Amino acid sequence: MATITECRGALDRLSDNLARADDGVRGAAALDRTLSCHITDLDTTFTGRLADGRIEVQDTVPGPPPVKAQIRLAMSGDDLVAMVGGELNFAKAWASGRVKLEAGFRDLIRLRSLL
CB 47 within 8 A of CB 38: no
Distance CA 104, CA 115 (A): 15
pLDDT of residue 110: 78
pLDDT, mean over the chain: 90
Q: Say if residue 17's pLDDT is above 80.
A: yes
pLDDT of residue 54: 86
Q: Say if residue 29's pLDDT is above 80.
A: no
pLDDT of residue 53: 81
Q: Each residue of 78-88: b (16+ CB within 10 Å) or e?
A: bbbbbbbeeeb
Q: Say if residue 41's pLDDT is above 60.
A: yes
User: Could you read off the pLDDT of 75-110 as tens digits, one per residue?
Assistant: 999 999 999 999 999 889 999 999 999 999 988 887
When pLDDT is averaged across residues 5-18 and rounded to a whole number, the result is 93
When pLDDT is averaged across residues 61-77 and rounded to a whole number, the result is 96
Counting residues of the chain whose pLDDT is more than 90, the rounded percentage is 69
